[in-house]
């Protein structure tokens, strides 16, 4: 418990000192109801709100189909991700994106439409299971990553390092809320 509190305290100091800078994509919107947004154009850390922004998505290995996990945010290339627009969904007019790891070149995917299915890193292609909508989260300040193939949101349960990311029906769950950060 003390270790977690210390990590949270240090994370807040790092944020306050400006070493880790939140990326403002569109400012503060008036309405926050699954509103699509344009993700950043540069490589970013993707951090989860459950751990008070201390944990980021990590694509740590070159292995195809390896689990995508969370790990304390550091300035490692395997925690940097890019968003590439892949098209527009005909049914709703929303743009969808591929989320690619800078270090290994693999893409974030969930290969089924089942709740609690694990996120994996896969060879990039224009497939439904590795296409993501970026929606404004219910808090009006952060984002939800919604899979095009399953229409479910990316989440991480808990704050432990090495926890695999999963998908679940989108809702007002803190573990589905993400922010994008750049290094100052």
Q: What is the mean pLDDT of residues 94-105?
A: 96
Report pTM. 0.82
Residue scoring higher pLDDT (51 or 83): 83
Cβ neighbours, 10 Å, residue 88: 11
pLDDT score recorded for residue 53: 83
Mean pLDDT score across all residues of the chain: 84
Name the pLDDT band for 93 (thresholds 50, 70, 90).
very high
Least confident range of 5-9, 55-59, 94-98? 5-9
Burial class (CB in 10 A: 0-12, 13-18, 19+), 110: buried
Q: What are phi and psi of 50, to 5 degrees?
A: -55, -40
Architecture label for domain 2-183: Trefoil (2.80)
Name the pLDDT band for 11 (thresholds 50, 70, 90).
very low
DSSP secondary structure letter of residue 178: E
Residue scoring higher pLDDT (20 or 62): 62
pLDDT score recorded for residue 2: 39
pLDDT score recorded for residue 21: 42
pLDDT score recorded for residue 36: 86
User: How far is Cα of residue 49 from the mean position of the Cα atoms in its chain?
Assistant: 10
Task: Convert the pLDDT of each residue in 124-183 to its tens digit.
Answer: 999 999 999 999 998 889 999 999 999 999 999 999 999 999 999 999 999 999 999 986
Residue scoring higher pLDDT (166 or 9): 166
Name the pLDDT band for 65 (thresholds 50, 70, 90).
very high
DSSP symbols for 24-70: PSS---S--SS-B-PPPSS-BEEEEGGGTT-EEEE---S-TTPBPEE
């Amino acid at each position: 418990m003390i270790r977690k509190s210390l990590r949270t305290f240090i994370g807040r100091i790092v944020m306050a000192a400006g070493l880790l800078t939140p990326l403002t994509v569109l400012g503060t919107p008036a309405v926050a109801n699954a509103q699509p947004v344009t993700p950043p154009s540069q490589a970013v850390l993707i951090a989860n709100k459950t751990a008070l922004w201390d944990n980021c998505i990590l694509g740590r290995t070159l292995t195809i189909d390896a689990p995508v996990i969370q790990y304390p945010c550091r300035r490692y290339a395997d925690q940097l991700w890019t968003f590439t627009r892949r098209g527009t969904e005909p049914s709703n007019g929303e743009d969808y994106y591929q989320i690619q790891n800078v270090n290994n070149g693999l893409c974030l995917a969930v290969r089924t439409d089942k709740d609690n299915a694990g996120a994996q890193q896969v060879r990039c292609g224009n497939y439904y299971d590795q296409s993501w909508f970026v929606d404004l989260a219910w808090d009006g300040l952060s984002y939800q990553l919604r899979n095009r193939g399953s229409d479910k949101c990316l989440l991480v349960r808990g704050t432990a390092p090495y926890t695999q990311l999963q998908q679940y029906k989108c809702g007002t769950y803190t573990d589905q809320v993400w922010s994008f950060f750049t290094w100052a």
